[in-house]
Amino acid sequence: MTPSIFLKPGREKSVLNFHPWVFSGAIARVSGSPAAGDEVRVCDYQERFLARGFFNPDSQIRVRLLAFSDTPLDSTFFEKGLRRAISLRDSILSPQTNACRLIHAEGDGLSGLIVDRYAEVLVAQFNARGMYLRREEIGKILLDITGARHLIDRSDAKALAAEGLSAAAKEPAGDLPQRIEILENGHQFEIDLLHGQKTGFFLDQRDNRRMIGELAGGKKLLNCFAYSGGFSVYAAATGSQTTSVDISKVAVEQARKNFALNGLDPAAHHFEAANVFDYLRHIEGDRYDIIVLDPPAFAQRKGDITKASRAYKDINRIAFQKVRENGLVLSCSCSSFISEDLFRKILFGAAKEAGRLVQILARPAQPPDHPVNIYHPEGEYLKTVLMRVL
């Protein structure tokens, strides 16, 4: 029989609101003796069924809920959930794009599972105990549904540590490809599947990169936190002169390669392996028409919010000071702990300190292959503000 978890009185509320996490403090007792990763039924204090999920006594998130009906979390369940997620991507991607987020964890009702598709290769992160233990089963279903040739497991060691698992860093076995070229809105990018950051590419910036491509039109662009040159390639393809800055030498080399892949001469553009905080301070003012700021998540947890806010304010203030009159600044934050409201306040403070008038032109969020579960607002992490600086 499937073990059951009984919640304390009143703690059923969030489950009735379809929130996918049950924290340790909400649990009154456990019947049966579920092992880490086992399927459990979650009930209220009167023993009424609420949901099913995977149990993990070693995580703050004690149960990750996957179904709010009393049906087993077996391969039929996974096949249905994975197909539903994949059909969304099939319906929104153009033939000019063959890389996308296929499974976006809670956003697709599959807490703990992230899968990115790069042409015929899937890169998966099984970032929760229950998902990790079922990775072979899930992997087979994924390959079967998508017809992809390979699946690479790049589960995140930090996420797994929080789940009480020390997955040894391993080189994926077999004849897996190391690198692959993908197409995004008609631009080519080479992805380092085994060693690239995250799963290899920041797919969540696809729509913003296209927006910058449309605005660039031969203007001068400074791309800060450029990684493999995404924004720069889009802009250079319109005749823009671009400068790409990233602290990672490997990323900067990849950016150069990506220029060449697209028939753009890297020698006609600037690439800098540098810390953006130093670099921005030393550039001459008035040189750039467009500045893109796409930093890593400065706030990784709640306790980082104050320090992170300062860092966001710093780079935005300098960008506002240095961009050309009537130039554009595209500013992003991918920290889920920095709310949209707080980010706006940070930008307000930065603009005021820079002493420039700033107009907000657009506020795009994450693209539709990174859906947000309405019951899990924590999943809405990417904030972008396009501004004109007078």
| Catalytic residue positions, numbered | 334
Closest approach, Cβ 142 to ligand SAH, in A, equals 24
Q: 151: part of which helix (H) or strand (E)?
A: strand 150-153
Q: Which is nearer to ligand SAH, 231 or 381 (CB)?
A: 231
Bridge partner list, 221: 242, 290
Which residue ranges make up the site for ligand SAH (CB under 6 A)?
197, 202, 205, 225-228, 230-231, 245-248, 251, 275-277, 294-296
Cβ-closest position to ligand SAH: 230
Encoded amino acid at 212, one letter:
I
- DSSP 3-state assignment of 104? strand
Q: Which is nearer to ligand SAH, 137 or 278 (CB)?
A: 278
Report long-range pairs for 236-241 (Cβ below 8 Å, ≥24 apart).
Answer: 236/262, 236/264, 236/269, 237/187, 237/213, 237/262, 237/264, 238/213, 240/216, 240/290, 241/268, 241/269
Q: Which is nearer to ligand SAH, 217 or 296 (CB)?
A: 296
Closest approach, Cβ 226 to ligand SAH, in A, equals 6
Closest approach, Cβ 366 to ligand SAH, in A, equals 13
Q: Which is nearer to ligand SAH, 238 or 248 (CB)?
A: 248
Bridge partner list, 384: 332
What distance in Å separates the CA atoms of residue 311 and residue 314, rounded to the nearest whole number?
5
Query: Dihedrals φ, ψ of 50, to 5°?
Result: -120, -45
- DSSP 3-state assignment of 208? helix
In the chain, helix, strand, coil percent, each to 5?
Answer: 35, 30, 40
Q: Which is nearer to ligand SAH, 155 or 335 (CB)?
A: 335
Closest approach, Cβ 224 to ligand SAH, in A, equals 7
Closest approach, Cβ 302 to ligand SAH, in A, equals 21
